[in-house]
Amino acid sequence: MLTLLKLLKDGRFHSGQALGVALGISRSAVWKQLQHLEAELGLSVHKVRGRGYQLAKPLLLLDAAEISAGGLCEWPVHIFDSIDSTNAEALRSIERGVEAPFMVLAERQIAGRGRRGRKWVSPFADNLYCSVVLRIEGGMRQIEGLSLVVGLAVMHALRDMGVSKAGLKWPNDVLVGEKKIAGILLELVGDPADVCHVVLGVGVNVNMQSTDEVDQQWTSMCLEARRDFDRNELVVRLGAKLQQYLRLHHASGFTAIQLEWEQYHLWQGRAVSLIAGVNQIDGVVMGVDRQGALRLKVDGVEKIFSGGELSLRLRDDS
């Protein structure tokens, strides 16, 4: 089915006969595959008698050669047409002994994972689903604040590409205003105090324009900048920004990034509720500490919070 899609991706008309010859199947089998393409991948195909088939919109697919030609992303890249989750595939690759660092990308995810057990909506060829695997040997210091560092790198990649209002929300969401444009999910295997592997999972809404499936306020690069984006260019720029900030973090720890992170924190000084399971703590955001934990003023006293299961909400009176 995806071979057929690759023949159609230029957005031009292709006759059923020519497609059948290229694929070594009958014209009616081509028709059946097209029905599947529409139903399964949510793509729309124009069918015009006498001319053949045409995708409603040309498709720019992920392309390893184009990414490496960009010259900025040093990591080997593994691209999948369809996968459960790039983070899950990254973890399987670690298990199989694939040597880190490397990057896993997919055109779509069937079971994309979000923070706190949520699903990450991952339609075909619209967005970026990316997992970078690192091997970490330096003990806890190399992990502290890492997810915030990834958020900062993602935000800069988006800004460089024209999403000038992208900002951060603790711990690692990238927002435009109050709408989420990118999310980050770190998963770790091994002993963080000794040697471990960390998977930096990054999902960016790139060309998605509509969906009923996302249950929070969201936006995309396309909706913000009013143009389509080439996801290969985003991978190149994101890879370069990640490498730049990870190098700084590796050499100097989160303290080297703390002030810059706060500068881009959209909720600095805002009245928020911190949600931890069924518990809620109200306070005012003061910033982050040297490890990337949240500093919150609660009843006039500064308190520190950290942990992957925490999330923030703006209070009505903020």
Which positions are annotated as active-site residues? 115, 180, 313
Residue span binding ligand BTN (CB under 6 A) among the ranges 22-30, 132-140, 143-151, 183-191: 183-191
Q: Is 114 annotated as a binding residue?
A: yes
Instruction: Please identify, among the stretches 61-69, 137-145, 179-187, 256-264, the one whose residues bind ligand BTN according to the rule CB under 6 A.
Output: 179-187
Contact 158, 167 (CB under 8 A): no
CB burial readout 16-29, b (16+ within 10 A) else e? beebbeeeeeeeee
Comparing CB distances to ligand BTN, the nearer of 55 and 173 is: 173
Q: Which residue is nearest to ligand BTN (CB)?
A: 183
The residue within the footprint of ligand BTN, chosen from 33, 54, 87, 207 (CB under 6 A), is 87
Q: How far is the CB of 175 from ligand BTN (least distance, A)?
A: 11
**From the CB of residue 123, how many other CB atoms can be counted at a distance below 10 Å?**
20
Q: Given candidates 14, 108, 113, 249, which one binds ligand BTN under the rule CB under 6 A?
A: 113
114 makes contact with ligand BTN (CB under 6 A):
yes
Q: Of 125-144, which residues contact ligand BTN (CB under 6 A)? A: 129-131
Residue 81 or 286: the one with the smaller Cβ distance to ligand BTN is 81
Q: Report yes or no: 84 and 110 within 8 Å, Cβ to Cβ.
A: yes
Nearest C-alpha neighbor of 206 from the set 281, 129, 141, 277: 129
Residue 118 makes contact with ligand BTN by CB under 6 A? yes
113 is in an annotated binding site: yes
d(C-alpha 274, C-alpha 152), whole Å: 21
Q: Is 12 labelled a binding residue?
A: no
Nearest by Cα to 273 from 293, 296, 289, 292: 296
86: contact with ligand BTN by CB under 6 A: yes
Helices (H) and strands (E) in the chain, counts: 9, 14
Q: How far is the CB of 130 from ligand BTN (least distance, A)?
A: 6
Residue 274 CB, nearest distance to ligand BTN (Å)? 16
Pick from 183, 239, 283, 292 the residue near ligand BTN by CB under 6 A.
183
Cα–Cα dist 243/51, whole Å: 48
In sequence order, what DSSP letters do the residues of 173-235 get, joined into one string? EEEETTEEEEEEEEEEEE-TTSSEEEEEEEEE--S----S---S-B--HHHHHTS---HHHHH
201 annotated as belonging to a binding site for a ligand: no
Q: Which residues bind ligand BTN (CB under 6 A)?
A: 85-87, 109, 112-115, 118, 120, 129-131, 173, 183-185, 201-203
